[in-house]
Amino acid sequence: MPILPPELIVEILSWLPVKFLLRFRCVCKYWKSLISDPQFAKKHLRMSTMDTKFTRHNIIFCFAKPRFTVRSCSLDSVCNNLPTSAVKMKYPLKARNRYDLLVGSCNGLLCFAIKQSHVLVWNPSIRISKKSPYLDIQRREGSYTIYGFGYDHLTDKYKVVAIFCYDSDGRGAYKTEVKVYTLGSNSWRRIQEFPSGVPYDDMGKFVSGTLNWLASRTSASRSSFVVISLDLGKESYVELSQPDYEAGVSTLTLGVLRDCLCILSHYGTYSNVWIMKDFGVKESWTKLLRIPYLVYPLSLLCTKDGCISESSEILLQYGSNLHFYDSRNSTFVRPEIQNANGWHDAEVYVESLISPGS
């Protein structure tokens, strides 16, 4: 048989699912070296994220009872209304806390907050994980910690941000202490405190090298919502401009759709979905659709066709339920997923070869 040139082998392998590539490492030394190369992992990730049909994407579900467990199913099956079942995954930690939190996903890596003292970054596709050093923050009564997880393009590193919020005077005057953990390092670093009010999103939303939180800014005359964005490269904050909402907004929900920052503005009988097509540019805010009132959705997971500009169906999380909303006929459809009752966190992640230790 003729020998294929190396560049063609790389191109062919980069289109294959992770499960096949892990097996193909046994073919020869060259293939093992290639598939283990971080540069090949990045190329493979680019190919996976180009897949708008979600054939390489999964949904992970986290359960607290009777003990912390995780399950996953194919996003492609859910989007195409195919029979699917959530399969139990082998979680890396033996000691599990039922109150551990799923912080988020980025490039195939999943981040979990462990007892508010550590974080775990795990790639379930290649079954490699890394636990952070101890998060040394002075605990106080009534305090809580909010997290974010994302990729710093400047340093080619993944970072976890922990925002420790505490009542400074016992009368509700909350202050923050912010620390950053860079994967590959051995410690947390303290950075500038949160600049405006206190974030009330559980987890930061990762978009374009930034983590974004909704926060409440209260003055003597008014209380307002702000969107604070932390640049992971510069480790500095800016306040983002928001859409021109209709009058009567009661509250907001921050989300991400196909790498675009998204805001749901909630009213008494409906919610509007806004997307920022060009990150950081106020004029790029576009109203995507209007959703009839159910309850405030916790997050937006994806659009069914993978294209936000022409989307007719969108997957939302309402409490511990998933619903597709079809804007063409204004109906909600709940996908049937076996073994997925009673979860408390859900997140979409892409299969990748990215290692938490890279």
Q: Where are the domains of the chain?
A: 37-350
What integer pLDDT is reported at residue 155 of this predicted model? 93
Confidence of residue 35 (pLDDT cuts 50, 70, 90): very high
Confidence of residue 325 (pLDDT cuts 50, 70, 90): confident
pLDDT at 175 over 90: no
- Looking at residue 320, its pLDDT comes to 82
Quick one: pLDDT at residue 316? Answer: 85
d(CA 161, CA 149): 6
For 120-146, the pLDDT digits (tens) are 999 999 999 999 999 988 777 778 899
Which of the four CATH numbers 2.120.10.80, 2.60.40.10, 1.10.1330.10, 2.30.110.10 does domain 37-350 have?
Answer: 2.120.10.80
Average pLDDT over residues 78-101: 87
Residue 221 has pLDDT above 70, yes or no: no
Q: Which long-range contacts (CB under 8 A, 24 or more apart) does 91-95 make?
A: 91/122, 92/120, 92/122, 92/127, 92/129, 93/120, 93/131
pLDDT tens-place string over residues 180-203? 999 999 899 999 999 877 787 778
pLDDT above 80 (res 284): yes
Mean pLDDT estimate for the chain: 87
